[in-house]
Each structure stands twice: as structure tokens, then as C-alpha cells.
Structure 1
Amino acid sequence: MNDRTAEKEREIQKEQKPSFHHLLRLFLYVFRATKGISCIYLGLFVLLSFLRPLIAEIWGRYISVVENAGNRVTEAALMLVLYWGISFAADLLESYLAPEGGGDFEQLDMIQANRQQELFKVHLLKKVNSVSPEYLEAPVMKDRMRQVFDFAGDSWNGINRKVMISGYVVVAKVISVLTIAAALYLYHPLLSILVLLAPLPTLYSVSLGEKLQFRFVKESTELQRETEYFEELLLSPAEKEIKTLGLHDFFYGKWKERADAYVIRQKKLIRNRALLQIVNSLFYNLAHVGGMVLAILLLAQGKLSLGAMSAVFAMTGTLITDSAQLIRAFGSFQAQKNRAAQFFDLMDLKEDASREPEKVLLHRAEAKGVKYRYPLTGRYTLKGVDFTLHPGEKVAFVGENGAGKSTFVKLLTGMLSPSEGRLLLNGKRMEDLHPESHFDAQSVVVQDPTHYETFTLYENVFLGETHRPYEEKTVQKALAFSGLASLENRLLGKYVGGTDLSGGQWQKLAIARAAYRNRDLIVLDEPTSNLDPLAETEIFKKYNSLAKDKTVIYVTHRISVAKLADRIIVFKNGKIEEDGTFDELMKLKGEFARLYEVQSQWYDR
């Protein structure tokens, strides 16, 4: 049978070969999305590219006028004023457009960068929401997403400076270089040829430097992620447990080992790029000096006037500078094709079918020969599960760790798709249903619920169903149901000045959220692991009474709680080992009876 997980693996592992096409596609993608501010920025760069050769030409003519002054003093004065006026405007514009510039245009840079970050994150978050959650099970996909998000948000080495501004510079400097080269050609062909050819070797070194930067980012992402994890661990509430166990030095050593390895790689990158920069400067200076020497020789041969030589000097300097900036910008721009391809690797992932959501009522759920393995792993977690769930049933899934209970629940709730076999809801394949339709039909409480901080207690409950108007009385009923009626409605989260809850209280809050959501299918995936057995039993009894006409799936390690279910499913080694009522399974004296005996101390109460 066809392994459908293999299709997702191919999508995850697929990396488009970086090309200039990806880069142009990315540039136009961002340009169209930020058209207004992008046009302003590009226009300013192009304006500057025309001002520099104009200044050089005015200076040359000024020298010619001064050389043959006579009665042309007024003309010389006007040309000098014009020269300094345009020079001042060009210097001011250049200082604002430079990355280290200050003033209104730098603010424009930040506005553009912020707009692009917002654009990217909106598109990326929408993309993440539109693809199968299964992709996120693969660490390589998480790394790829982290790299793309970092690229979008990096103010210095991100998309704003490395793609957009570099692209503007390339367009502007091409105009400038061609204009000046044409002017120099009119003075003497060798002048334009010399200054155009000399900086070309730097194109390779700039491109190489950017490739080194990309390789460093790609190879260091996992190392950086581990460093951040250990850093957060040492600064989080877990530090209390770490201190009591005497693990601070152990985790500090883990953090330092990875931080040092990251710094060593970073130092190597900086050293190599510094050497490349020295080579670049050498070529620039040689070309500049060569142009000046050639101009002096032409003056000595009478082929250039003093004014023309002055213009040539100015144009040569501008051309060398602009050629260098063009090559640097193009090298930087061109080197981002790797990241552009990486961005489209993510954006081109297959999305869940774009069907319209529909109201789904659970009548019957069936698993037929379901097998499942997580992407990029060879071992099957589920090895052929056959199961039928009828509406109104209260079913408990039990089994040891790794038996496949939670994985099967993820399949039933639509978070994963079978590698082999079929999952049917009301006779339809779950893959053929819109994901939102499936998610909307269920209330799910997981073992480690998310702590929605920066929201109040009541708002946390309201997050269970934000598509209907807020109902405070219903929120209070849900809190009472979960045992949190005595808590005040305060802001949650210490770092925002609110209060914190215990682990058990956070779990009860998640249960309140599910009660407020009030769906036909209720899935409780070990939601009470931080509660004592009595509290867990009480919660399950409440759900049974609350959900008389609803379907409830309860995943638990505590066999005593399974007594309260209409039906018990025992998982073992990725298969359903036993299926029946409590009394039926105890009479079998099989796996369930063994687990019951092992855990008997829990229910002698």
C-alpha cells in the first residue's frame, strides 16, 4: 500500500535549486506588496545616481571657465554656486540613504523594514495555518521556518537591506555607471574600459562572502536553537527545580559548550569576510589610481584640457566608487538567492485543499487498517488499527507510554493523516473534509496546555470559542465546572504584571476552555496529569454528566478512571490489544487486567 507519509517527506526534503529567478521573484513579491514606499526609495537612489556625474561635469566646466576667465567671472561664480548647491544636496541625500545615516530617510528605511516584516510574517503565519500540522513534526521544517522568520526580521542582514535596498542600489548604480562610462568614453575610450574592468574581480569575492554568511546561518541554526533553549531553561521557573537537583552547573556547561561553538564559527566567518574586504579595497584603489595616471598622460599629450582632466578625475572617482557599490550590492543581492529559494520552499508547500468549511456532526468515526509513522522516521507508531466510534460513546484509551494512544488521538482530531489505511468520518475520508470543519466539531484538552498569558482569567476561557459573542455567565459556569470558580478575574502572566497559576490550575483552565467551547466530540488527552487521582476522577465524572449526549474520548494512564467509561480501548505496541467494558476486560485477564493490578494502589480509596 502507498505510504502517504512518504509524500509529505518528499515535500519536507524538497529544496529548490537556488537561482536568480527566485531572487527576482522575491524582490517583485515584496516590491508589489510595499509599492508606495518602495517607489519612493528607488526614486531617491536613482536621483542620486544622476547627481554625481552631473556634479563632475559642472566641476570640469567650472575649471575650463576659470582657466579662460576673461569677462566670464559672473559665469564662473554661478557655476561654483551651482556646483556647491548640487553637491550639498547629493551629500545630504547620500547620508540619509546610507545604512548608517540619520534623519528622516533612515526613519523611512525603518518604516519600509517594519512593513516588510509585517508582510512576511502575515504571509508566513497564514501559510503555516494552511498546511498540514504534520509538517511541523519535522525538526528540519521548524529550522527552515526559523531561518525564514529571522531573515525577515533581521534589520541588518535581512530582506530589507540585503534584497530590497541592495536591489535599489543595483538599479541606481547601473544607471550611474553607464552614464559616467559613456561620458568618459567621449573623452577617451581607455578611461571607461579601465575603470569598468578593474573592479570585476571583486564580484566573485563579494558573492563568496555572502555564500559564507548563508552557510553559517544554515549550519548554525540548530546550534543557536539549542543555545537559546538552555539559556531559557536557566532563566525560566524551571531554575528552581534545577537548583534543588544541583543541575545548574550541568546545564550551564551545556549552554557554554554550544555558545562557544557558535562564537567560534562566527569568528571564522568574520575573519574570512574581513580578508575578502581587504582584497576588494586593493582592486578599487588600483583602478582609481590607474584612471588618474591615464588622465594625466592624456593631459601631457594635449589630448585633454585642464577642465576636462578635472572632470575626468571627478568622474573616475565617482565611477570607481559607484562600480564598487554596484558590484558589492549585486554580489549581496545575488547571494540572497539561497534565502529566496528557502522562502519559496516554504511558501510552495502543498496546502490543505481549499474547500469551503461545512458544519460537521459526528455520527460515526472509523479507522480501517490505520498505520502511521512520523515524517523522516522509519518506525511505525501505529501498526494497523481498526476502530469504530459511535456518537454518544464515552471511550477511554489506556496503555503504557509509547503504545500509540496520543498518536491515534492526533489522527482522530485531524492533526495527522494516516500513512496507510483509512480514517472515515460519517463515511467520508477525513482528508476530504476541510480541516476547519473537523477542528470546529471538537473540543480538545491536551496534557500540556498552552499558557495564554497577557489575557485575563475570563478571556482565557473565552478563547475556547471566539466566534460567538462573549458570555460572562457561561464563562463562570465553565470555571465552576473545572473547579476554578474561586479565582479572581485577573490578568495572567508574571512578566506582564499579572498573576501566575500552578500547573494544575493551568490544566483546569484548559478544561474550562473546552467546557465553554461545548462541542459534540470532546477529547481529553491526559488533561489531568498535574491533578491528583481524586480530582481527575471528579473531572471525568463531571464530563460524563455534562456530556450525556456527546462523544467523549479520554486518554489516561490511570486505569481506575477508565472504569467510568462505557468502553475501554487498550493500546499496546501500536495496535489495539483489547476492546470492551471494564468488567469484560477484567474477565479476559489480559493486558488491561495486568495494568489494573500494577496500578491497584491508585484505586484503593
Structure 2
Amino acid sequence: MNDRTAEKEREIQKEQKPSFRHLLRLFLYVFRATKGISCIYLGLFVLLSFLRPLIAEIWGRYIFVVENAGNRVTEAALMLVLYWGISFAADLLESYLAPEGGGDFEQLDMVQANRQQELFKVHLLKKVNSVSPEYLEAPVMKDRMCQVFDFAGDSWNGINRKVMISGYVVVAKVISVLTIAAALYLYHPLLSILVLLAPLPTLYSVSLGEKLQFRFVKESTELQRETEYFEELLLSPAEKEIKTLGLHDFFYGKWRERADAYVIRQKKLIRNRALLQIVNSLFYNVAHVGGMVLAILLLAQGKLSLGAMSAVFAMTGTLITDSAQLIRAFGSFQAQKNRAAQFFDLMDLKEDETLESEKVSLHRAEAKGVKYRYLLTTRYTLNGVDFTLHPGEKVAFVGENGAGKSTFVKLLTGMLSPSEGTLLLNGKPTEELHPESRFDAQSVVVQDPTHYETFTLYENVFLGETHQRYEEKAIERALAFSGLSALENKLLGKYVGGTDLSGGQWQKLAIARAAYRNRDLIVLDEPTSNLDPLAETEIFEKYNSLAKDKTVIYVTHRISVARLADRIIVFKNGKIEEDGSFNELMQLKGEFARLYEVQSQWYDR
């Protein structure tokens, strides 16, 4: 039988071979996303590329006029004023553009970077939301997303500076270099050839430096993530438990070990790139001096006037600078092809099929020979499950840890898709239903609910149904249902200056959110693990009374609570071991009865 998980594995493991087309595609992708500011920025770079050779030509003309002054003092003065005026404009413009990051004013590229990050991350977040949630189960996908988001947000080594600004510089400097080279060629062909060929070794060294940077990022992502995890652990509320267990030194050692390893790799990268920069500077200065010596020799031979030599000096310096910037920018640009390919590895992931979203209500769910294994693993968590869920049933899923209960719930709720077998909802295969339609048809409470801090208590409940009008009375009823009616409607989250809730209160808040959502299918995946048995029983009893004709699935480890359900499903080793009412399963004296006896001993002591 076709293993659908294998298809997803091939999809997430597929890596495109880096090529220059990925860079062009990425440049155009970002340019289209930020048309306005990108056009302004590119236009300013091109304008600057024309101003520098113009300044050199005006300076040469000024020297020529001064050399042959006579009665042309006014013309010389005008030339000087024009020279300083255009130079000031060029310097001001370069300070704003600051392609090398050394501008004196607030850099325009920071404005673009912030705007690009905002618009760019909109596309990234939409993409992440459009792919199957199952992809997020794979660590390789988490690493890829982390690297792509870092590339988008890094102000120094990210998309803005390394791709967009480098791309602008390439376009502008090509115009500048060709213009100046043509002018120098008219003075003497050797002048343009010398200064154009000399910086070429820079292309190789820059490309090599960027490859070293990419390899460092790719190989250090996991190490950096582990370092950040242990640092956050030592600074989080978990530090209280860490101190009481005497684990501070242990976790500090883990953090220090990884931080040191990361720093060693980073030092090696910085050292190698510094050596490459020294080589670049050497070639740059040799070419500059060579151009000046050649101009002096031509002057001595009478092939250049003093004014022409002054213009050549200025143009040579500008051409050397622009050639070096062009090659450096092109090297930096083309070296990003690995990261560009990595970006499109994410963006080209197959999305959930574009099906028409429609309002659905669960009438019947049926699993036929369903198997499931998590991405990039070989063991089947579910191994041939046959199950039918009827509308209005109150069903409890029980079993030991790892038996497959929560995995099967994820399949029913659309977070995962069967590796093999068929899962039908209302008689239709789940792949024919729009994911959003499935999500919209259910209320789900998980074991470890998200703590939505920076929101008030009432806003936290409202998150359960943001597509409808905010109804305070309905929110208050949901809070009363979950046992939180005594809490004040205040901002939540200790670290944002709000109220701190206990683990049990956060779980009750998630239950209130599900009650406010009010769907035909209610899934409670161990939502009361932080509550005492009496509170858990009360919650389930309330859901039974609230649900009435709704379908409810309980996932619980507390066997005593399962007796509240109409039907109990016992999972064992990835299969349904038993199926029946509480009394029927107790009479079987099988797995359920064994679990019940084991747990009842704790209460009989």
C-alpha cells in the first residue's frame, strides 16, 4: 500500500541544487513585495553611479581651465562651485545609502530593511500556515524555517544587505564602471584595462568568504538553538525548580559547553574572512597605484595634459573603487545562492490542496485500517486502526503512554494525515475536505495549552471565536463553566506586567475558550492533567451536560473518569484493544480492567 508519509518525507528532504537563477528569482520576489522603496533605493544608487564620474570630469576641466586661465577666472570659479556642489550632493547621498554600512546619517537601508522584513515575513508566515501541520513535526523543517527567518531578519547578513543592496550595487556599478572605463579608454586603452582586470581576484575571495559564512550558519543552527534553549531555561520560571533540585551548575555547564563551541566556530570564521579582506585590500591598492603611475608616464610622454591627468587620477580612483564594489557586491550576491535555494526549498513546499472552504458539521467519522508513523521515523505509532464515531457520542480514549491515543486524535482533528488506510468524515475522505473547514468544525483542548500573554482574561476566551462578534456575556458563561468566574478581567502574563496564572488555571482558561467556541465536535486531549481528580470529574460532567447532542472525545489517563463516557476505546501498541461501555469492559477482565485495578489501588490505600 502507498505510504503517504513517505511522500511527505521526500518533499521535506528535497533540496534544490543552488544556482544563480535562485538568486534572480529571490531578488525579483523581494523587489515585487517592496516595489516602492526598492525602486527609490535602486534609483538613488544609479544616480550616485553617474555623479562620481561626472565629478571627476568636472575636476579635470577645472584644472585645464586654471592651467590655461587667461581671462577665464569666472569660468574657473563656476567650475569649482559646480565641483563642490555635486561632490556635496554625492557625499550626502552616499551617507544615506551607506552601502558599506558607514553612513553618518540614519541609513535609508534600515528603513528598507524594516519594511522588507515586515512584508517579507508576511509571505513567510502565510506559507508556513498553508503547508500541512504535519511538516512542523520534523526537526529538519524547524531548522529550515529557523534559518530562512534568520536570513530574512538579519540586518547585516540577511536578504536586505546581501541580496537586495548587493543587487542594487551590481546594477549601479555596472553602469558606472562601463561609463568610466569608456572615458579612460579614450585617454588611453591601457588605463581602462589595468583598472578593470586588477580587482578580479576579489571576486573569488568574496565568494569564498560568503561560502564560509553559509556553511557556518548551516552547521551551527542546531548548536545555536540548544545554546538559546539552555539560556532561556536558566532565565525562565523553571529556574525555581532548577535551584531546588540543585541543577543550576548542571544546566549552566550545558549552556557553557555549547556557547564555547559556537564561539570557537565563529572565531574561525571571522579569522578566515579577515585574511580574505587583507588580500582584497592588497589587490585594490596595487591597482590604484598602477593606474596613477601609468597616468604620470603618459603625462611625461606628452600624451596627457595636466587637466587630463587630473581627470584620469580622479576617474581611476573612482573606477577602482566602483570595480571593487561591483565585484565585492557580485561576489556577495552570487554567494547567497545556497541560502536562496534554501529559501525556495521552504517556499516551494507543497501546500494543502486548494479546496473550496465550506461550513461543515461532523455527522460521522470512520477509520479503516489506519496506520501512522511520524515523519522521518520507521515505527508505526498507529498500526491498523478501525473505528467509527457516531454523532452525539461521548467517547473516552484510554491507554498507557505511547499507546497511540493522542496521535489518533491528531488524525481526527486534521493535524496529521494517515500514512496508510482511509479516514472518512461524513463519508468523504479527509483529503477532499479543506483543512480550515475541519478546524472550524471542532473545539479542541490540548494537554499543554498555549499561554496567550499580553491579552486580558476575557480576550483569552475570545480567541476561541475571533470570527464572531465579541460577546461579554458568553465569555462570562464560559469562564463560569470552567471555574474561573472569580478571576478579574486583567492582563495576563507575569513578564508583561500582568497577572500570573497557575498551570491549572491556564488549563481551565483553555477549557473556557473551547466552551466559548461551541462546536459540534469537542476534543479534550488530557486537558485536566494539572487538575485534581475531583476537578477533572467536574469538568467532564459539565461537558456532558453542556454537550447534549454534541460529539465529545475525552483522552485521559484517569480510568475512573472514563466511566462518564458512553463508550470507551482502549488503545494498546498502536491498535484498538477493546471497545465498549464501562460495564462491558470491566466484565471482559481485559486491558481496561487491568488499568482500572492498577489505578484503583492508589485510591484504596
Q: Give the shorter-chain TM-score range.
A: over 0.9
Provide the C-alpha distance between the structure 2 equivalents of 1:251 and 1:14, rounded to a whole number of angstroms: 36
Provide the C-alpha distance between the structure 2 equivalents of 1:530 and 1:37, rounded to a whole number of angstroms: 51
Provide the C-alpha distance between the structure 2 equivalents of 1:297 and 1:126, rounded to a whole number of angstroms: 63
What is residue 67 of structure 1 aligned with on the other side?
A: 67
Shift in Å at residue 71 of structure 1? 2.0
Contact 1:397 1:405 in 2 (8 A): yes
Contact 1:96 1:102 in 2 (8 A): no
Contact 2:97 2:107 in 1 (8 A): no
Shift in Å at residue 214 of structure 1? 0.9
Contact 1:131 1:350 in 2 (8 A): yes
Contact 2:441 2:519 in 1 (8 A): yes
Provide the C-alpha distance between the structure 2 equivalents of 1:482 and 1:323, rounded to a whole number of angstroms: 69
CA displacement, residues 155-179 of structure 1 (integer Å, 9 cap, x when unaligned) = 1111111111111111111011000
Contact 1:365 1:390 in 2 (8 A): yes
Shift in Å at residue 342 of structure 1? 1.3
CA displacement, residues 558-593 of structure 1 (integer Å, 9 cap, x when unaligned) = 111111111111111111111111111111111111
Shift in Å at residue 313 of structure 1? 1.0
CA displacement, residues 361-392 of structure 1 (integer Å, 9 cap, x when unaligned) = 21110000000011111111111101000011
Provide the C-alpha distance between the structure 2 equivalents of 1:24 and 1:93, rounded to a whole number of angstroms: 27
CA displacement, residues 372-419 of structure 1 (integer Å, 9 cap, x when unaligned) = 011111111111101000011111111111111000000000100000
Provide the C-alpha distance between the structure 2 equivalents of 1:558 and 1:512, rounded to a whole number of angstroms: 21
Contact 1:66 1:76 in 2 (8 A): yes
Shift in Å at residue 102 of structure 1? 8.1
CA displacement, residues 51-78 of structure 1 (integer Å, 9 cap, x when unaligned) = 1111111111221222222222222222
Per the alignment, do residues 99 and 50 of structure 1 end up closer, same or farther by CA in structure 2, a change over 3 Å counting?
A: closer
Contact 1:526 1:556 in 2 (8 A): yes
Provide the C-alpha distance between the structure 2 equivalents of 1:6 and 1:340, rounded to a whole number of angstroms: 26
Contact 2:97 2:108 in 1 (8 A): no
Percentage of pairs with the same residue: 95
Shift in Å at residue 604 of structure 1? 4.9
Q: What SS does the corresponding residue of 2:357 show, helix, strand or coil?
A: coil
CA displacement, residues 81-126 of structure 1 (integer Å, 9 cap, x when unaligned) = 2112211211221122115768897353222111111111111111
Contact 1:405 1:555 in 2 (8 A): yes
Contact 1:359 1:437 in 2 (8 A): yes
Provide the C-alpha distance between the structure 1 equivalents of 2:46 and 2:388, rounded to a whole number of angstroms: 68
What TM-score do the two structures reach when normalised by structure 2?
0.98
Q: Is residue 262 of structure 2 the alignment partner of residue 295 of structure 1? A: no
Q: What SS does the corresponding residue of 1:106 show, helix, strand or coil?
A: coil
CA displacement, residues 22-48 of structure 1 (integer Å, 9 cap, x when unaligned) = 111111111122111111111111111
Shift in Å at residue 238 of structure 1? 0.6
Contact 1:370 1:418 in 2 (8 A): yes
Contact 2:97 2:103 in 1 (8 A): no
Shift in Å at residue 341 of structure 1? 1.2
Q: What SS does the corresponding residue of 2:106 show, helix, strand or coil?
A: helix
What is residue 243 of structure 1 aligned with on the other side?
A: 243
Q: What SS does the corresponding residue of 1:105 show, helix, strand or coil?
A: coil
Provide the C-alpha distance between the structure 1 equivalents of 2:322 and 2:358, rounded to a whole number of angstroms: 59
More deviation, 335-344/502-511: 335-344
Q: What SS does the corresponding residue of 1:486 show, helix, strand or coil?
A: coil
Per the alignment, do residues 546 and 483 of structure 1 end up closer, same or farther by CA in structure 2, a change over 3 Å counting?
A: same
Shift in Å at residue 304 of structure 1? 1.2
Number of residues of Structure 1 aligned to a counterpart in Structure 2: 605
Provide the C-alpha distance between the structure 1 equivalents of 2:538 and 2:228, rounded to a whole number of angstroms: 40
More deviation, 168-177/110-119: 110-119
CA displacement, residues 321-342 of structure 1 (integer Å, 9 cap, x when unaligned) = 1000111111111111111111
Provide the C-alpha distance between the structure 1 equivalents of 2:227 and 2:278, rounded to a whole number of angstroms: 33
Contact 2:22 2:337 in 1 (8 A): yes
Contact 1:399 1:557 in 2 (8 A): yes
Q: What SS does the corresponding residue of 1:422 show, helix, strand or coil?
A: strand
Q: What are the within-5 Å matches in structure 2 for residues 165-564 of structure 1?
A: 165-564=165-564
Shift in Å at residue 205 of structure 1? 0.4
CA displacement, residues 305-330 of structure 1 (integer Å, 9 cap, x when unaligned) = 11111111111111001000111111
Per the alignment, do residues 380 and 151 of structure 1 end up closer, same or farther by CA in structure 2, a change over 3 Å counting?
A: same
Q: What SS does the corresponding residue of 2:423 show, helix, strand or coil?
A: strand
Contact 2:95 2:107 in 1 (8 A): no
Provide the C-alpha distance between the structure 1 equivalents of 2:130 and 2:88, rounded to a whole number of angstroms: 52
Provide the C-alpha distance between the structure 2 equivalents of 1:69 and 1:474, rounded to a whole number of angstroms: 91
Shift in Å at residue 134 of structure 1? 0.3
Provide the C-alpha distance between the structure 1 equivalents of 2:104 and 2:70, rounded to a whole number of angstroms: 45
More deviation, 412-421/12-21: 12-21
Shift in Å at residue 127 of structure 1? 0.9
Provide the C-alpha distance between the structure 1 equivalents of 2:77 and 2:473, rounded to a whole number of angstroms: 84
Contact 1:368 1:423 in 2 (8 A): yes
Provide the C-alpha distance between the structure 1 equivalents of 2:383 and 2:33, rounded to a whole number of angstroms: 48
Provide the C-alpha distance between the structure 2 equivalents of 1:519 and 1:182, rounded to a whole number of angstroms: 74
Contact 1:560 1:603 in 2 (8 A): no
Provide the C-alpha distance between the structure 1 equivalents of 2:442 and 2:583, rounded to a whole number of angstroms: 29
Provide the C-alpha distance between the structure 2 equivalents of 1:391 and 1:550, rounded to a whole number of angstroms: 7
Contact 2:99 2:165 in 1 (8 A): no
Unaligned runs of 5+ in 1: none
CA displacement, residues 421-450 of structure 1 (integer Å, 9 cap, x when unaligned) = 000001100111000111111100000000
What is residue 44 of structure 1 aligned with on the other side?
A: 44
Contact 1:22 1:340 in 2 (8 A): yes
Shift in Å at residue 354 of structure 1? 1.3
Provide the C-alpha distance between the structure 2 equivalents of 1:199 and 1:184, rounded to a whole number of angstroms: 17
Per the alignment, do residues 467 and 603 of structure 1 end up closer, same or farther by CA in structure 2, a change over 3 Å counting?
A: farther
CA displacement, residues 178-231 of structure 1 (integer Å, 9 cap, x when unaligned) = 000000100111111111011001101001101111111111111111111111
More deviation, 148-157/404-413: 148-157
Q: What SS does the corresponding residue of 1:477 show, helix, strand or coil?
A: helix
Provide the C-alpha distance between the structure 2 equivalents of 1:250 and 1:99, rounded to a whole number of angstroms: 45
Q: What SS does the corresponding residue of 1:225 show, helix, strand or coil?
A: helix
Contact 1:120 1:152 in 2 (8 A): yes
Per the alignment, do residues 603 and 436 of structure 1 end up closer, same or farther by CA in structure 2, a change over 3 Å counting?
A: farther
Q: What SS does the corresponding residue of 1:523 show, helix, strand or coil?
A: strand
Per the alignment, do residues 406 and 384 of structure 1 end up closer, same or farther by CA in structure 2, a change over 3 Å counting?
A: same
Contact 1:97 1:105 in 2 (8 A): no
Per the alignment, do residues 101 and 388 of structure 1 end up closer, same or farther by CA in structure 2, a change over 3 Å counting?
A: closer
Provide the C-alpha distance between the structure 1 equivalents of 2:603 and 2:469, rounded to a whole number of angstroms: 42
Shift in Å at residue 343 of structure 1? 1.3
Contact 1:452 1:460 in 2 (8 A): yes
Contact 1:560 1:602 in 2 (8 A): no
Provide the C-alpha distance between the structure 2 equivalents of 1:365 and 1:263, rounded to a whole number of angstroms: 53
What is residue 566 of structure 1 aligned with on the other side?
A: 566
Provide the C-alpha distance between the structure 2 equivalents of 1:223 and 1:357, rounded to a whole number of angstroms: 41
Contact 2:33 2:120 in 1 (8 A): no
Contact 1:404 1:573 in 2 (8 A): yes
Per the alignment, do residues 121 and 441 of structure 1 end up closer, same or farther by CA in structure 2, a change over 3 Å counting?
A: same
More deviation, 440-449/341-350: 341-350
Provide the C-alpha distance between the structure 1 equivalents of 2:131 and 2:399, rounded to a whole number of angstroms: 31
More deviation, 407-416/29-38: 29-38
Per the alignment, do residues 602 and 424 of structure 1 end up closer, same or farther by CA in structure 2, a change over 3 Å counting?
A: farther
For the aligned residue pairs, the C-alpha RMSD in angstroms reads 1.4
More deviation, 73-82/209-218: 73-82
Provide the C-alpha distance between the structure 2 equivalents of 1:519 and 1:604, rounded to a whole number of angstroms: 38
Per the alignment, do residues 180 and 69 of structure 1 end up closer, same or farther by CA in structure 2, a change over 3 Å counting?
A: same
Contact 2:570 2:576 in 1 (8 A): yes
Per the alignment, do residues 443 and 205 of structure 1 end up closer, same or farther by CA in structure 2, a change over 3 Å counting?
A: same
More deviation, 107-116/229-238: 107-116
More deviation, 332-341/91-100: 91-100
Provide the C-alpha distance between the structure 2 equivalents of 1:349 and 1:217, rounded to a whole number of angstroms: 22
Contact 1:372 1:418 in 2 (8 A): yes
Per the alignment, do residues 256 and 503 of structure 1 end up closer, same or farther by CA in structure 2, a change over 3 Å counting?
A: same
Provide the C-alpha distance between the structure 2 equivalents of 1:33 and 1:535, rounded to a whole number of angstroms: 52
More deviation, 317-326/149-158: 149-158
Provide the C-alpha distance between the structure 2 equivalents of 1:295 and 1:408, rounded to a whole number of angstroms: 80
Q: What SS does the corresponding residue of 1:102 show, helix, strand or coil?
A: coil
Contact 1:370 1:422 in 2 (8 A): yes
Contact 1:187 1:304 in 2 (8 A): yes
